[in-house]
A and B are shown apart, each in its own frame.
Chain A
Amino acid sequence: MFMKTFEEKWTAWIDDELNESERAEFEAALEDRAAAEADKNQTHKLGALLKEQLQPRAMGNEAFFHHQLRERIERETASPAARATPALRQTWWSIRRLLSLGAASLAVFAVCTFLVMREEPAPNQSQYLTHILNSRVDPGMNPDATVSIFQTKDDRATVLWVDGLKSLPSDYAAK
């Protein structure tokens, strides 16, 4: 054990924390007991006054402070890795969307290329069509004959359609 200093004993005496023997010994050692008792009473009054006057004030924005505190606690308790990684800015152009858009563009390009290439004729074929410049049917032999011209879509054949020619017997089909 070690010896208490006078100040420690004085503080303990003021706070009534000395046991009976210590208190009797300390009071016996006081030179001016009445002045000490007056100081003790003054100290007790001052303590009571401070307890009464220094009550914590009620907070008007308690919820806000709770929220701030919770956020700060969460920040401080977050993992070091998470704290080290900066927060990425969230935009519409995410990598996945960009990849999807690129794939869709390539698909559209492939479809359009296929359609364009399919419409083009074979390279060894001429682009020109056969044209009928004029045509005549002998009006004496076939007075009701009429002529029309059209082209077929599949073989691009040019058809000269002559109507109203006189019908011939089947022996005209002889070779």
Chain B
Amino acid sequence: MCRILFAALTGAALLLSTVAPASAGKPRRGAQPGRSGKKVWSGLVVATNAAKPLPATPTELHRLDGTLRRTFGYNQFEVIGQSRRALQNGEANWLAVSKHFSLHVDPRGVSSDGYRVNLQLFQDRQILLETDATLSTSSPLVIRGPQVGAGQLLLLLVVQ
């Protein structure tokens, strides 16, 4: 009798171990991003290849260094303009700005998926690119811009 019970428990443990939880890998629908107070780091970055690449700064860029290297094929990333600013609904902001490029953001509210924004990348006074996106805290946004000299302009947005 004890052996049968032991064998049954062992089989049950084996079955439980081979069945993954139904919620594994799925989004948690109950989790919602914060309504306000989240800051967005934005950066205008020029990616180049250098014999002795300089370390990527600030922290937001440093975290993405490996991904940027693998994705775009450059080994040095220089910030030419950046901003760290809280998004407020209905309040358009200028984020990262450099001598020739600037990023304009228009928050469109918070949804269950993240921060809905309208982004406009300006080259001098002309719109180069416009996009509507939903930003998430765990997923930075990288936009590949035009070729600049021997490098590549990248636009980064990281919700903090």
Contacts and interface: CB of A to CB of B under 8 A. Distances in A.
B106 to A, nearest CB: 13
Given A102-B6, A105-B14, A155-B64, A130 B149 contact: no
A128 interface: yes
B133 interface: yes
The number of chain A residues touching the other chain, given as a range, is 35 or more
Given A130-B135, A138-B128, A173 B20 contact: no
Interface string A106-143: 10111111001001110001111111111111100110
The number of chain B residues touching the other chain, given as a range, is 35 or more
Given A159-B71, A173-B46, A130 B134 contact: yes
A12 interface: no
B137 A125 contact: yes
A137 B129 CA distance: 5
Interface stretch (B25-33, B51-59, B87-95): B25-33
Interface in B81-139: 81, 98-101, 113-114, 116, 123, 126-139
B16 interface: yes
Nearest to A145: B129
Nearest to B48: A173
B10 interface: yes
A128 B139 contact: yes
A27 to B, nearest CB: 85
A81 to B, nearest CB: 25
B139 A156 contact: yes
A69 interface: no
A93 B13 CA distance: 17
A138 B126 contact: yes
Contact of A98 (B7, B21, B31, B129): B7
Interface in A128-173: 128-138, 141-142, 151-152, 154-163, 165-173
A174 B137 CA distance: 30
A119 to B, nearest CB: 6
Nearest to B143: A160
B113 A128 contact: yes
Contacts of A111: 17
A30 interface: no
B134 A133 contact: yes
Interface string B58-72: 000001101100110
Contacts of A112: 17-18, 20
Nearest to A113: B17
Contacts of A175: 80-81, 98-99
Given A119-B25, A159-B142, 4 more contacts: A127-B26, A134-B132, A162-B146, A174-B98
Interface of A: 93, 98, 101-102, 105-106, 108-113, 116, 119-121, 125-138, 141-142, 151-152, 154-163, 165-175
